[in-house]
Amino acid sequence: MSKGSIHKAALACAALAVLASCGNETTDQAGSPFVIAAKTVGEAVAARRTEDKAPAKPPKSPAEKAAEALRVNPNPLIMAGFESLGRSQVMAMTDQNGGMRTYMTPSEEALIMRNGMLVGTRGLGDDLSVAEPGTAGLIRAGRSGSATRVMRYFSGDGLERPLSFDCDVGPGPKAGVIVESCQGHGVSFQNSFMLQGGQIPVSRQWIGPALGYVTIQTLRP
């Protein structure tokens, strides 16, 4: 029953109780169904108010979310931290086609990855339709060099628009980190990839102008 319904029921029962108790209250009146109902609903309203005043449980930390997901979901998992949205989300692999993997939340927000590199998003709004990183070979080999990255987005007219960026790849400030610095169309961004055993277990990658960066950490390969 909703809070509004409880309040309405309490008022109705209280009114009936008042009518039943006009004059001197007798033992029969004190035990009448109307009086008992009014007391019962009144107690329920008081209990609901007490629950409403109870402090809300703090949101789970990313570490707690990761631990819970690892316990209940046997699939490959990642933790995605969306900087512009101010939230972190555990995502489970729902599909794999060769090196392409789709990771999704229960609300069907998805990241599409190819060998650890972000190549698309779905369900986030202002989605990246597909990315074509010509820098992928350099990044995975940990080599310096230059290449072109193409990022495709759907415009307001429903057509897919490709944006081409010139990118330089080189070592980052910390050992084992490769940085991809790109610019074009008045925009510049920098992706960071941690290499480990030929894999990319941790990265920070740019989705687009609207969604900004997402930090991706592998919880279960």
pLDDT per residue as tens digits for the range 160-184: 999 999 999 999 999 999 999 999 9
The residue with greater pLDDT, 50 or 80, is 80
The residue with greater pLDDT, 82 or 61, is 82
* pLDDT tens digits along 107-155: 999 999 999 999 999 999 999 999 999 999 999 999 999 999 999 998 8
Q: Is the pLDDT of residue 197 over 60?
A: yes
Q: What is the pTM of this model?
A: 0.72
Look at strands 117-122 and 212-220 and give their pairing: unpaired
Of all residues in the chain, what percent are helix, strand and coil, respectively (each to 5)? 25, 45, 30
Q: How far is CA 208 from CA 10, 41, 126, 147, 197, in A?
A: 54, 54, 8, 19, 29
Average pLDDT, the chain: 83
Report whether CATH 3.30.1490.20 matches the domain 62-220. no
Q: What are the sequence ranges of the domains in the chain?
A: 3-53, 62-220
φ, ψ of residue 36 in degrees (nearest 5) = -65, -40
